[in-house]
Protein backbone atom coordinates (compact mmCIF):
# COMPACT_ATOMS: atom_id res chain seq x y z
CA UNK A 1 0.00 0.00 0.00
CA UNK A 2 1.02 3.60 -0.43
CA UNK A 3 -0.29 6.71 1.25
CA UNK A 4 -2.32 8.34 -1.50
CA UNK A 5 -3.31 11.36 0.56
CA UNK A 6 -4.99 12.80 3.60
CA UNK A 7 -8.43 14.37 3.39
CA UNK A 8 -11.29 15.30 5.69
CA UNK A 9 -14.67 13.70 6.26
CA UNK A 10 -17.10 16.38 5.08
CA UNK A 11 -19.65 15.54 7.77
CA UNK A 12 -17.58 15.31 10.95
CA UNK A 13 -14.44 17.11 9.70
CA UNK A 14 -12.43 14.08 10.84
CA UNK A 15 -9.14 13.47 8.99
CA UNK A 16 -8.90 10.39 6.80
CA UNK A 17 -5.74 8.86 5.42
CA UNK A 18 -6.29 7.19 2.07
CA UNK A 19 -4.13 4.15 1.34
CA UNK A 20 -3.93 2.83 -2.20
CA UNK A 21 -3.13 -0.77 -3.03
CA UNK A 22 -0.19 -0.95 -5.40
CA UNK A 23 -1.17 -2.12 -8.91
CA UNK A 24 -4.94 -1.92 -8.28
CA UNK A 25 -7.67 0.69 -7.99
CA UNK A 26 -8.45 -0.29 -4.40
CA UNK A 27 -8.32 2.44 -1.78
CA UNK A 28 -8.53 1.98 1.99
CA UNK A 29 -9.87 4.99 3.96
CA UNK A 30 -8.83 5.11 7.62
CA UNK A 31 -10.23 7.77 9.94
CA UNK A 32 -7.43 9.20 12.11
CA UNK A 33 -6.86 11.98 14.63
CA UNK A 34 -5.88 15.55 13.81
CA UNK A 35 -2.36 15.38 15.35
CA UNK A 36 -1.54 12.20 13.43
CA UNK A 37 -2.91 13.67 10.20
CA UNK A 38 -0.69 16.71 10.72
CA UNK A 39 2.33 14.47 11.41
CA UNK A 40 1.74 12.48 8.21
CA UNK A 41 1.04 15.54 6.06
CA UNK A 42 4.04 17.46 7.37
CA UNK A 43 6.42 14.68 6.43
CA UNK A 44 4.76 14.04 3.05
CA UNK A 45 5.05 17.74 2.24
CA UNK A 46 8.66 17.96 3.45
CA UNK A 47 7.84 20.43 6.22
CA UNK A 48 9.80 20.50 9.45
CA UNK A 49 9.44 21.96 12.90
CA UNK A 50 12.09 23.67 15.02
CA UNK A 51 11.78 20.91 17.65
CA UNK A 52 11.01 17.23 17.05
CA UNK A 53 7.36 16.25 17.12
CA UNK A 54 6.35 12.94 18.72
CA UNK A 55 6.77 10.75 15.62
CA UNK A 56 10.07 12.44 14.74
CA UNK A 57 11.26 11.81 18.30
CA UNK A 58 10.25 8.14 18.04
CA UNK A 59 12.08 7.79 14.72
CA UNK A 60 15.19 9.52 16.10
CA UNK A 61 15.18 7.33 19.22
CA UNK A 62 14.94 4.16 17.15
CA UNK A 63 17.88 5.35 15.05
CA UNK A 64 20.01 6.11 18.11
CA UNK A 65 19.25 2.62 19.44
CA UNK A 66 20.16 1.12 16.05
CA UNK A 67 16.63 -0.20 15.59
CA UNK A 68 14.98 0.09 12.19
CA UNK A 69 11.33 0.04 11.20
CA UNK A 70 11.09 -2.62 8.50
CA UNK A 71 7.35 -2.53 7.80
CA UNK A 72 3.98 -1.38 9.06
CA UNK A 73 0.77 -3.32 8.58
CA UNK A 74 -2.93 -2.59 8.96
CA UNK A 75 -3.81 -5.93 10.51
CA UNK A 76 -7.54 -5.93 11.19
CA UNK A 77 -10.80 -4.03 11.48
CA UNK A 78 -12.72 -4.88 14.64
CA UNK A 79 -15.82 -3.06 15.93
CA UNK A 80 -15.23 -0.05 13.65
CA UNK A 81 -11.59 0.27 14.73
CA UNK A 82 -8.55 -0.43 12.58
CA UNK A 83 -5.56 -2.12 14.20
CA UNK A 84 -1.97 -2.07 13.00
CA UNK A 85 1.48 -3.32 13.84
CA UNK A 86 4.97 -1.93 13.47
CA UNK A 87 7.74 -4.42 12.70
CA UNK A 88 11.16 -3.43 14.02
CA UNK A 89 14.55 -4.99 13.37
CA UNK A 90 16.44 -5.18 16.66
CA UNK A 91 19.89 -6.82 16.77
CA UNK A 92 19.04 -9.11 13.87
CA UNK A 93 15.62 -10.18 15.14
CA UNK A 94 12.17 -8.90 14.25
CA UNK A 95 9.89 -7.47 16.92
CA UNK A 96 6.24 -6.72 16.23
CA UNK A 97 4.64 -3.86 18.17
CA UNK A 98 0.88 -3.19 18.38
CA UNK A 99 -0.02 0.27 17.07
CA UNK A 100 -2.78 2.52 15.91
CA UNK A 101 -2.67 2.74 12.10
CA UNK A 102 -2.14 6.51 12.25
CA UNK A 103 1.00 6.19 14.39
CA UNK A 104 2.31 3.32 12.28
CA UNK A 105 1.79 5.36 9.09
CA UNK A 106 3.42 8.46 10.62
CA UNK A 107 6.46 6.31 11.42
CA UNK A 108 6.42 4.68 7.98
CA UNK A 109 6.63 8.03 6.18
CA UNK A 110 9.65 8.93 8.32
CA UNK A 111 11.46 5.60 7.98
CA UNK A 112 10.53 4.72 4.42
CA UNK A 113 9.14 1.40 5.65
CA UNK A 114 6.74 -0.41 3.33
CA UNK A 115 3.03 -0.35 4.22
CA UNK A 116 0.84 -3.44 4.08
CA UNK A 117 -2.81 -4.21 4.77
CA UNK A 118 -4.26 -7.63 5.54
CA UNK A 119 -6.27 -9.13 2.69
CA UNK A 120 -9.40 -9.41 4.83
CA UNK A 121 -9.16 -5.70 5.77
CA UNK A 122 -8.93 -4.80 2.09
CA UNK A 123 -11.80 -7.15 1.21
CA UNK A 124 -14.01 -5.71 3.96
CA UNK A 125 -13.23 -1.99 3.77
CA UNK A 126 -11.54 -1.01 0.52
CA UNK A 127 -13.21 1.11 -2.13
CA UNK A 128 -12.57 0.04 -5.71
CA UNK A 129 -12.99 2.34 -8.68
CA UNK A 130 -14.40 0.53 -11.70
CA UNK A 131 -12.22 2.19 -14.33
CA UNK A 132 -8.52 2.91 -14.47
CA UNK A 133 -7.66 6.03 -12.53
CA UNK A 134 -5.03 8.18 -14.16
CA UNK A 135 -5.43 11.64 -12.71
CA UNK A 136 -4.85 12.43 -9.05
CA UNK A 137 -7.50 15.15 -9.22
CA UNK A 138 -10.03 12.61 -10.53
CA UNK A 139 -9.37 10.29 -7.58
CA UNK A 140 -9.60 13.17 -5.12
CA UNK A 141 -12.93 14.31 -6.63
CA UNK A 142 -14.35 10.78 -6.52
CA UNK A 143 -13.08 10.33 -2.96
CA UNK A 144 -14.70 13.60 -1.87
CA UNK A 145 -17.99 12.48 -3.44
CA UNK A 146 -17.67 9.21 -1.54
CA UNK A 147 -16.94 11.05 1.73
CA UNK A 148 -20.06 13.16 1.32
CA UNK A 149 -22.10 9.93 1.50
CA UNK A 150 -20.40 7.97 4.30
CA UNK A 151 -19.45 8.01 7.95
CA UNK A 152 -17.13 5.78 10.03
CA UNK A 153 -20.15 3.70 11.08
CA UNK A 154 -20.63 2.60 7.46
CA UNK A 155 -17.46 0.53 7.84
CA UNK A 156 -18.70 -1.50 10.82
CA UNK A 157 -17.90 -5.15 10.48
CA UNK A 158 -20.82 -7.48 9.84
CA UNK A 159 -21.70 -10.68 11.66
CA UNK A 160 -20.59 -12.88 8.78
The model's pLDDT over 48-71, given as tens digits with 9 standing for 90+, comes to 889 999 999 999 999 999 999 999
In the predicted structure, residue 87 carries a pLDDT above the cut 50 = yes
| Residue 160 DSSP label | -
Is pLDDT above 90 for 119? yes
Measure the CA–CA gap between 39 and 82, rounded to whole angstroms. Answer: 18
134: left (phi over 0), alpha (psi -120 to 50) or beta: alpha
pLDDT for res 160:
39
Q: How far apart are the C-alpha atoms of 92 and 124, rounded to whole Å? A: 35
pTM above 0.85, yes or no: no
Cα separation, 39 vs 34, in Å, equals: 9
Mean pLDDT along residues 104-126: 96
116 forms beta bridges with 73
Q: 10: burial class by Cβ within 10 Å (0-12, 13-18, 19+)?
A: middle
Contact criterion met (CB below 8 Å) for 67 and 90: yes
Rounded Cα distance between 157 and 124, Å, is 8
Amino acid sequence: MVIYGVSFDMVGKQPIVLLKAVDTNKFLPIWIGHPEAAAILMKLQGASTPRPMTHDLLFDMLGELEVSCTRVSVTELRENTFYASITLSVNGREVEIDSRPSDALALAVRSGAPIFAAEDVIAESAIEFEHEVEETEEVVDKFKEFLDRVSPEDFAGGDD
